[in-house]
């Protein structure tokens, strides 16, 4: 891909994303299957009937990611009060 095509492609994707996301509001989330740090598998279907706060972060033990995770941890009772579960997803 030419160097000039990459920025144009990224811009097109960024402009299209909000419209796509808006079309999904109120729709069931797509199914997923993820393995946790203990090797156990989790699917979205396991959490049917609950709110799911699914957040993504690039790497464990980095300052911004740790701050975000601590914020979820510190507010876990508020999530539990509305029958919500918090799931963090990292590539590492």
Active site residues: 65
Instruction: Please give the C-alpha separations between residue 10 and each of 23, 24, 57, in angstroms, as whole numbers.
Output: 20, 21, 20
Q: Are strands 41-43 and 33-35 parallel, antiparallel or unpaired?
A: antiparallel
Distance in angstroms (rounded) separating the CA atoms of residues 66 and 87: 14
């Amino acid at each position: 891909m030419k160097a000039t095509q990459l920025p144009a492609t990224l811009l097109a994707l960024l402009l299209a994303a909000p419209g796509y996301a808006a079309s999904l509001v109120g729709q069931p989330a797509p199914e997923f299957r993820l393995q946790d740090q203990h090797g156990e598998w989790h699917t979205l279907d396991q959490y049917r009937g609950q709110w799911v706060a699914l957040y993504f972060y690039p790497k464990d033990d980095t300052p911004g990611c740790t701050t975000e995770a601590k914020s979820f941890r510190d507010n876990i009772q508020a999530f539990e009060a509305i029958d919500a579960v918090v799931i963090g997803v990292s590539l590492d």
